[in-house]
Amino acid sequence: MTGRTRLKVKWLERLWGLSTGRFGLIVVVVVVVTAIVSLFWTPFDPRQVEISNRWVLPGWPHLLGTDGSGRDILSLLMAGSRTTVLVAVGAGVIATVIGVSLAALGALTARWMRESVAVLVDILIAFPVLIIAMMISAVWGGSLAVVIWSVGIGFGVNIARVTRPELRRVLHSDFVLAGRASGLSPLQNLWRHLLPNVAPVFIVQLSWGMAVAVLAEAGLSYLGFGAPVTEPSWGLLLAELQQYITVYPLSVLWPGLAITFTVLALNLLGDALREATDPTLSRGRDPLHPPRGAIRHVPEVVA
Amino acid sequence: MIRYTLTRLALLLLGLLVASVLIFLTLRVLPGDIAQLIAGTNSTPEQVEGIRQRLGLNQPLVAQYLDWIAGVFRGDLGSSLLTGSSVTSELAEKAQVTVPLGIMSLTIALLFSLPFGVLSAMRRGRADGTALSVGAQTLAAVPVVWAGMMLVVVFAVWLGWLPAQGFPRAGWDEPAAALRSLLLPALTIGIVEGAMLMRFVRSATMQAVGQDYVRTAAAKGLTRNAALIRHGLPNVGLSVVTVLGLQVAGIIVGAVVIEQLFTLPGIGRMLVADVSARDLPKVQGELLVLTGFVLVVGFVVDLLHRFIDPRQREST
C-alpha cells in the first residue's frame, strides 16, 4: 500500500517537474476554483444590465470593462467558467464510459465481436464532433446537454481506438494470467490489473478530449446550439461582443483569451501526462535510457 | 495492393452504409411526431397529415430509408421542407464558396506548417525552435471563431485591407472580389489547422532524426541537416499524408463556424440555418454529403499512403 502511494506521489512529482505539466495544472486549478467561487461571489452581478454603464473601458471597478448592456465582463467570464467546467467534466465522464466500454468490448470478447467493434470504431471516428452536435441539435434543439453528449460520443470513440490495442497488449502479459490463475473473475481482473495498466494512455486522451470539449462549447454556443442565451458562457459572450467588433474590438479579447488559456492548459497537461507516465522514461538515471529531451521514438500523434 | 484496395473499399462502403443509417435514424428517433413538430403547435390536423404524406412518414422505416437511398443514387438528395427547392442543386451552388475556401485553407495550412514544423524540430532546444513550438501549441488552442475575429480586427478594421464580411453578389463573375472576401476566412482556418499540423510535422521530423538511415547517411559524410533533408523529409511527408484526412475533417468543421462569422453563402452556413429551422430532409441530405466526403477522403488518403510508400507496397 505504501509502495502504491509512493508511486503516485512520484508520478505527480514528475508531472510537476515538467514546465508544461506545471502550467497545465495551475491553469486548470485556477479555472475550477474560479468556477466554484463564482457560485458564491463575483465582483458584480453578471446578469445586471445597466445601460448607463455601457462599454466602460477596463479599469476600476470594472477590471475588464463592461459589454453593450453594461454587464461586467470579468463577472461574466467568471460565471462562464462554470459552463466550461460543467461541459468538460460532463463530456469527460461520458467519453470515459463510452470509451472504456467500447475498448473492453473490442478487446476482451469473442473474435467476431472484437472485430465488428473495431470496424465500427473506425467508421464512427470519421464523424467530427461538430457534425454529431448538429445532428442532435436538428432534432432536439441546441442545449448544453447536446454539447456534452456530442463531445462525449465523439471522444469516447477516440479513446476506444487508442485504448483497445493497449488493452489487448496488457491482456497477454504475465500478471493478468497470474490474476486469472489465482481465481479472479474476468471483471475483477479487468478492474484490478487491466484498467490500471491502460490508465496512462487513457488519461492523456481524456485531457485532450476535455480541451476539445471546451472548444466545442465555445463554437457551438457561438453558433446558437450550445448554452441557452440566459446562461453565462464564453462562447455566447464571443457571439454577443462580435456584433460590436468594429467599434469595441478590445472587449472580444477577454473571452477569447480565457478559452485559449484553458484549452492550451488541457493540451499541455495531456502532453505532460504522456511524458510523466511513459514507462520508458521512468528509469530516469539509467544511462542506457536517454534522458528527457533526448531524441527518441515519439508515439504517433493522435490529436 | 489490389487486395488491400478491395478490403479498404469494402470498409468505405460499410462506412457509408453505417453513416447513412445513423443519420437517418437520428433524425427519426424523436419522441413524438416529426410532422407535428415541423408543423408547429398552431397547425390543423390536415396540415400535419399533409406533411406526413409529403415526407412519406406513413410508410415503414425500412421503406423510407430505401426510398431515400434510391434517391441519393439518382443524385436526388430530397427537397427542402420550407422552400421546396432541391437539396442537390443548393449544395452545388453553395459548394462554389465552400470548396474554394477549403482548398485555400488547406494550402495555407500546408504552406505554413511544413517549413515551420521541420524548422522547429531541427532547432529543438534553442530559443527559436522553442518559440516556434510554443507558438504552434498556443495557436492550436485558439478557438477558430476568435482567431477569425482577431484577424478581422487587424486586417479589416484597423488596416482596412480586406472586407470584414460578405461575398460578392455576382459570385465568381467578379473573381478578384470573390477571392478577396475568401482570403481572411481561409487564413483563419489555415492558421489554426496549420498549427495543429505543425505539431504533427514536428514530432514526425524528430522521429525521422532518430532513424538509422539518417544516422547512416550522416556517417557517410553528409551533415546532420543534409541527411535529414535528403532522407528524413520524404518520411515526414509520408506521415503528413496520413493525417490529411483529419485535416480535411477539421477544415469542414472550421468552415461551418467561419462561414457564419464572415457571412459567406457556403455549405456550412446553410447547414447552420437548416438545423436552426429544423428543415430535417435538408439536414439529412447535407449531413450525408459531409460525412460521405470525410469517409471518401479517408479512403483516398489511405490508398495514396499505401501507393507512395514503397515499404507498404511490397508488404502486400
Instruction: Tell me what pLDDT residue A6 has.
Output: 61
Instruction: Tell me what pLDDT residue A111 has.
Output: 86
Q: Residues 120-149, chain B: which have Cβ within 8 Å of A?
A: 124-125, 137-138, 140-146, 149
Q: Is A302 on the interface with B (CB under 8 A)?
A: no
Residue A3 predicted with pLDDT over 60: no
| Interface confidence (ipTM) of the complex | 0.85
B237 vs B201: CA distance, rounded Å: 8
Mean pLDDT, residues A258-283 taken together: 79
**Percent of the residues in chain A that have a pLDDT greater than 70, as a whole number:** 88
Phi/psi of residue B86, nearest 5 degrees: -75, 130
B220, B244 contact by CB (below 8 A) = no
Give the three-class secondary structure for A72: strand
B267 vs A208: CA distance, rounded Å: 29
Name the pTM for this structure. 0.85
Mean pLDDT, residues B224-253 taken together: 82
Instruction: Tell me what pLDDT residue B270 has.
Output: 92
Residue B196 predicted with pLDDT over 50: yes
Instruction: Tell me what pLDDT residue B102 has.
Output: 93
A299 vs A280: CA distance, rounded Å: 12
B163 vs B179: CA distance, rounded Å: 11
Q: Is B150 on the interface with A (CB under 8 A)?
A: yes
Asked whether the beta carbons of residue A223 and residue B257 sit closer than 8 angstroms, the reply is yes
Mean pLDDT, residues A162-184 taken together: 83
Option in A128, A249, A295 nearest B157 (CB): A249
In angstroms, what separates the C-alpha of B247 from chain A's closest C-alpha? Answer: 10
* pLDDT tier at A7, thresholds 50, 70, 90: low
Option in B142, B249, B283 nearest A138 (CB): B283
Mean pLDDT, residues A23-52 taken together: 86
Instruction: Tell me what pLDDT residue A184 has.
Output: 83
Residue A63 predicted with pLDDT over 90: no
Instruction: Tell me what pLDDT residue A227 has.
Output: 84
- Partners of residue A222 in chain B, C-beta under 8 Å: 145, 257, 260
The 10s digit of each residue's pLDDT in B130-145 is 888 888 889 989 999 9
Check whether the bond before A61 is cis (ω within 30° of 0): yes
The 10s digit of each residue's pLDDT in A145-160 is 989 999 999 999 988 9
Q: Is A130 on the interface with B (CB under 8 A)?
A: yes
* Distance, CA of A162 to chain centre: 16
Asked whether the beta carbons of residue A264 and residue B257 sit closer than 8 angstroms, the reply is no
In angstroms, what separates the C-alpha of B41 from chain A's closest C-alpha? Answer: 16
Residue B31 predicted with pLDDT over 80: no
Residue B116 predicted with pLDDT over 70: yes
Residue A286 predicted with pLDDT over 70: no
Mutate to test the interface with B, among A124, A301, A302 (most CBs of B within 10 A): A301
Tell me the DSSP string of A230-251: TS--HHHHHHHHHTTTTT-GGG
Asked whether the beta carbons of residue A120 and residue B271 sit closer than 8 angstroms, the reply is no
In angstroms, what separates the C-alpha of B172 from chain A's closest C-alpha? Answer: 27
* pLDDT tier at B312, thresholds 50, 70, 90: low
Instruction: Tell me what pLDDT residue A279 has.
Output: 55
Instruction: Tell me what pLDDT residue B314 has.
Output: 58
Which has more pLDDT, B294 or A108?
A: B294
Instruction: Tell me what pLDDT residue A45 has.
Output: 81
Mean pLDDT, residues A131-148 taken together: 86
* pLDDT tier at A284, thresholds 50, 70, 90: very low
- Partners of residue A126 in chain B, C-beta under 8 Å: 15, 19, 249, 291, 294-295, 298
* Distance, CA of B157 to chain centre: 28
Q: Residues 187-216, chain B: which have Cβ within 8 Å of A?
A: 196, 199-200, 203-204, 206-207, 209-210
Asked whether the beta carbons of residue B291 and residue A255 sit closer than 8 angstroms, the reply is no
User: Mean pLDDT in chain B?
Assistant: 85
Neighbours of B179 (CB within 10 A): 14
Phi/psi of residue A72, nearest 5 degrees: -75, 120
CB-hemisphere CA count at 13 Å for A232?
A: 22
Instruction: Tell me what pLDDT residue B33 has.
Output: 65
Mutate to test the interface with B, among A18, A139, A207 (most CBs of B within 10 A): A139
Mean pLDDT, residues B262-288 taken together: 89
* pLDDT tier at B44, thresholds 50, 70, 90: confident
* pLDDT tier at A278, thresholds 50, 70, 90: low
Q: Can you state the angle between helices A253-277 and A195-223, rounded to 10 degrees? A: 170
B284 vs A166: CA distance, rounded Å: 36
B125, B133 contact by CB (below 8 A) = no
Phi/psi of residue B142, nearest 5 degrees: -75, 130
- Partners of residue B294 in chain A, C-beta under 8 Å: 126-128
* pLDDT tier at A283, thresholds 50, 70, 90: very low
Option in B18, B146, B272 nearest A259 (CB): B146
Q: Is A243 on the interface with B (CB under 8 A)?
A: no
Give the three-class secondary structure for A132: helix
B313 vs B4: CA distance, rounded Å: 10
Q: Is A187 on the interface with B (CB under 8 A)?
A: no
How many residues does this entry show for chain A? 303
In sequence order, which residues have a C-beta less than 8 Å from that of residue A134 and are 6 or more positions away? A225, B256, B271, B272, B275, B283, B287
In angstroms, what separates the C-alpha of B125 from chain A's closest C-alpha? Answer: 8
The 10s digit of each residue's pLDDT in A216-251 is 999 999 888 888 888 888 988 888 888 888 778 888
**Percent of the residues in chain B that have a pLDDT greater than 90, as a whole number:** 20
| DSSP character at residue B231 | I
Residue with cell 463531445: A151
Residue B58 predicted with pLDDT over 50: yes
* pLDDT tier at A259, thresholds 50, 70, 90: very high
Instruction: Tell me what pLDDT residue B172 has.
Output: 81
